[in-house]
Amino acid sequence: MARRQRRGIVSPRKNNKTSPSLISISDVLRAGRRMSTEEQGVARYLLPGLDTHLASIPAGAQGGDFYGMVYLQQGRTAVFVGDISGHDFSSSIVAAQVIEYIDNNQEALAFPHLFLHEMSNALYDTLNSVGRFFTAALCVADVERNTLTYASAGHPPSLMYSSEHKRIISVGGKSLPVGFEPDTAYQVYQRDFLPGDTLLIYTDGISSARSADKDEFGMQRLAAHVLAHGRSPRTMIPDLIHIINEFCAGAPGVDDITAICLSRG
């Protein structure tokens, strides 16, 4: 059987000959789009009408965060971020299985809430057998229609800077993580995503980060950071990592940190 041509997936995983789709970026960056690495391990990807900055920092040798981007053609880019429960080897195995599922069903990403529903059904037995679940956020940025379509499975709400209103908008709502219950339905959110707007998607290693005094970083600090950097997305993630590192200095434990900043050109 002929191998289906991939439309391009971006992942933080290192080169692995048994699963090349986990690190393939050539299709995503085709036709003049380019990738560059910036300071503090923040990568930058330029897609049609979309400037993306991202960083993913595991807390230990076995991280549970995962992310990716798929260019769906016609000005649409799907972006996903997830967080597997636990920080052991089995969490990394589950993350690889989730990435494989996403890679094998890229066309379905165009409908985020339906994709999460089908993925929940497909992976429920596997997750239940190892006592794992994961949160996920999936969005499709459509730069031709100036829209953002978004669905979440138990993931922290994303934060969007509106260039028109000069304020922060919370995107997403409460829902169950994938693996909690079978046949879970997810809600879809759609809103304007105009030139100058910026969206931050992240894992709870950021919002739930704790200081040595057990103070939580929290949504108020995070929203203030997004508001301050909404017009300068290039500095949003490196400055956020710096702030989180300072905030958590001396704290006994840390979590994986992943953040993706999408900015409309």
pTM: 0.85
Residues of the chain with pLDDT under 50: 1-37
Domain residue spans in the chain? 20-264
At residue 38, the pLDDT reads 54
Report d(CA 182, CA 132) in Å as an integer. Answer: 13
CA-to-CA distance for 164 and 166, rounded, in angstroms? 6
Whole-number pLDDT of residue 73: 80
**pLDDT value at residue 61:** 59
For domain 20-264, give the fold: Phosphatase 2c; domain 1 (3.60.40)
How many Å apart are CA 241 and CA 99, to the nearest integer?
25
Looking at residue 88, what is its pLDDT? Answer: 67
Residues 6+ apart with CB under 8 A from 56: 12, 63, 65, 67, 256, 257, 258, 259
pLDDT at residue number 21:
29
Q: What is the pLDDT of residue 155?
A: 96
